A = this chain, B = another copy of it.
Amino acid sequence: MSEVILCKSVSCADTSGKHIFHSFNRRSPLPSDVHIKIRYSGVCHSDIHCGRGDWGPKSYPLCTGHEILGEVVNVGAEVSKVNIGEVAGVGCFVDSCRGCEECKEGEENYCSGPGGFRGTYAHKEREDLVPGGVTQGGYSTDIVVDERYVVKVPEALNRAEAAPLLCAGITCFAPFIQAGVRPGMKVAVAGLGGLGHMAVKIAKKLGAEVTVLTRSQSKVESALAMGASKVVVTTNEEEVKAAAKSVNLVYNCISASHDMVFYLSFLKNRGTMIVVGLPPEPIANLKASALAGRGLSIKGSLLGGIKATQEMIDFCARHNIVSDIELIPATPEAVDVAWERTMKSDVKYRFVLDTAATLEKEFDERAKKRAKLA
A→B interface (CB under 8 Å)? 101-102, 107, 109-112, 245, 260, 268-270, 275-302
In the complex, A363 Cα to B19 Cα: how many Å? 85
Q: Please, which residues of chain B bring their CB within 8 A of the CB of A286?
A: 282-283, 286
- Provide the bound-state CA to CA distance between A275 and B283, in Å: 16
Contact in complex: A288, B279 (CB < 8 Å): yes
- CA distance in complex: A292, B260 (Å): 14
B292 and A110 contact, CB distance less than 8 A: no
Q: Identify the 6 closest CB pairs spanning chains A and B, nearest first.
A: A291-B300, A292-B300, A110-B269, A297-B299, A278-B289, A275-B288
Q: How often does this chain occur in the complex, in copies? A: 2
With contact pairs A278-B292, A283-B288 given, residues A270 and B302 touching in the complex (Cβ less than 8 Å): no
With a cutoff of 8 Å between Cβ atoms, the chain B residues found around residue A260 in the complex are 288
Given contacts A269-B110, A284-B282, contact A290 B294 (CB under 8 A): no
Instruction: Decide if A245 touches B294 in the complex (CB within 8 Å).
Output: no
A276: chain B residues at CB < 8 Å are: 292
Contact A112 B245 (CB under 8 A): yes
A300 to B294, CA, bound (A): 7
Residues of chain B contacted by A281 (CB below 8 angstroms): 287
Chain B residues within 8 Å of A302, by CB: 292-295
Q: Which residue of A268, A281, A302 has the most chain B CB atoms within 10 A of its CB atom? A: A302
Partner of A287 from the list B102, B268, B282 (CB cut-off 8 Å) is B282
17 A-B pairs with C-beta separation under 8 A: A102-B270, A110-B295, A111-B269, A275-B288, A276-B292, A277-B288, A281-B287, A282-B285, A282-B286, A290-B300, A291-B299, A292-B300, A294-B300, A295-B302, A296-B299, A297-B298, A298-B298
Cβ of A278: which chain B residues have Cβ within 8 Å of it? 287-289, 292
By a CB distance below 8 angstroms, the chain B residues around A284 are 282
- 17 further A-B pairs in the complex, CB-CB below 8 A; given A102-B269, A276-B292, A283-B288: A110-B294, A110-B295, A112-B269, A275-B291, A277-B288, A278-B292, A279-B288, A280-B287, A281-B287, A283-B286, A291-B298, A291-B299, A292-B301, A292-B302, A295-B302, A297-B300, A298-B298
